[in-house]
């Protein structure tokens, strides 16, 4: 009979522990995802900005040799990340894809100019910086015009600022929610053992002695939950990245590692803090308090 009762108690404790770990892991997974994208906010911003094309259109009279020499010079500028020289033939092919095969039939000669398509450094993608760059390039005798989507630049800067603010608010909310949920989970787990804690208190055990096994249990619980959450996040990122590979370009592996380590530490700290608080509170219970 004692064996049977012991097995029942053990089974309940195991179920309680597994439930606690799963609950904490889910919360920490949400925190980890938000933390990773928040820590990589600069990389995300730069990625979208640096993929915006600025076309430097050269004059019709510019020879191919002059155009190639100008392109080489332009690609050496500090604010230019990369770019490519677009010949008249390549430009015509691109226009055909957009307007159809016969769009040049109405012209006596090809109106397609030679151009250089460049991607700028993310720091240069602001209205003021782009205006300065455009005016500087237009001073060159070979340049006819510098074209880019001004509305896109304004939209990028505005939307990225909003996204950054929303992400920050989300991080704060998730941290508060995670603290509350994890604390409640740990409290319920420890409260279920209030009779044991009260008995230890009655025989003269100090609170530090009573709290020690619960703190150790909480450290393990927080660490296991954090590791499970980290694993879930890595699997999620790998599955999202398997299609396009865009995440491997945007996200910094070091920042991902720091974020996941921080989440594991956060899980341990919240579990330990909750354990110490609840044990101290339960140790002060009177006999009557144990039943409420």
- Over residues 203-222, the pLDDT tens digits come to 777 777 777 887 888 888 88
Can you give the residue ranges of every domain in the chain? 12-44+156-291, 53-148
pLDDT tens, 96-119? 555 555 545 544 445 567 788 888
CA distances, 144 to each of 77, 100, 116, 147, 286 (Å): 19, 25, 12, 10, 87
53-148 CATH choice from 3.30.70.3040, 3.30.1330.60, 3.30.1330.90, 3.30.70.270: 3.30.70.3040
Of 71, 105, 107, whose CA–CA distance to 87 is shortest? 71
Residue 54 CB coordination number (10 Å):
23
* Residue bearing the bigger pLDDT, 133 or 203: 133
Tell me what pLDDT residue 112 has: 67
Strands 53-58 and 115-120: antiparallel
Cβ contact 69:123 at 8 Å: no
Res. 265 pLDDT band, cuts 50 70 90: very high
């Amino acid at each position: 009979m004692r064996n049977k009762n012991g097995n029942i108690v053990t089974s309940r404790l195991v179920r309680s522990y597994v439930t606690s770990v799963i609950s904490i892991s889910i919360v920490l997974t949400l925190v980890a995802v938000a933390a990773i994208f928040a820590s990589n906010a600069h990389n995300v911003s730069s990625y979208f900005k640096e993929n915006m094309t600025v076309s430097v259109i050269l004059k019709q009279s510019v020879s191919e040799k002059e155009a190639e020499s100008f392109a080489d010079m332009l690609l050496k500028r500090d604010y230019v990340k990369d770019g490519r020289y677009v010949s008249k033939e390549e430009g015509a092919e691109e226009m055909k894809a957009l307007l159809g095969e016969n769009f040049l039939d109405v012209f006596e000669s090809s109106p397609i100019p030679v151009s250089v398509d460049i991607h700028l450094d993310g720091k240069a993608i602001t209205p003021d910086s782009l205006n300065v760059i455009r005016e500087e390039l237009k001073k060159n005798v070979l340049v006819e015009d510098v074209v880019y989507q001004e509305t896109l630049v304004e939209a990028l800067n505005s939307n990225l600022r909003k996204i950054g603010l929303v992400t920050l608010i989300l991080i704060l909310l998730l941290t508060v929610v995670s603290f509350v949920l994890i604390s409640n989970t740990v409290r319920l787990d420890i409260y279920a053992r209030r009779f044991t804690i009260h008995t230890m208190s009655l025989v003269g055990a100090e609170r530090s002695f009573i709290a020690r096994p619960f703190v150790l249990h909480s450290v393990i619980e927080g660490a296991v939950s954090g590791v499970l959450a980290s694993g879930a996040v890595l699997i999620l990122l790998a599955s999202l990245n398997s299609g396009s590979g865009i995440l491997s370009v945007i996200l910094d592996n070091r920042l991902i590692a720091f974020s996941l380590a921080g989440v594991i530490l956060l899980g341990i700290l919240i579990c330990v803090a909750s354990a110490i608080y609840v044990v101290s509170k339960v140790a002060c219970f009177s006999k009557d308090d144990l039943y409420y």
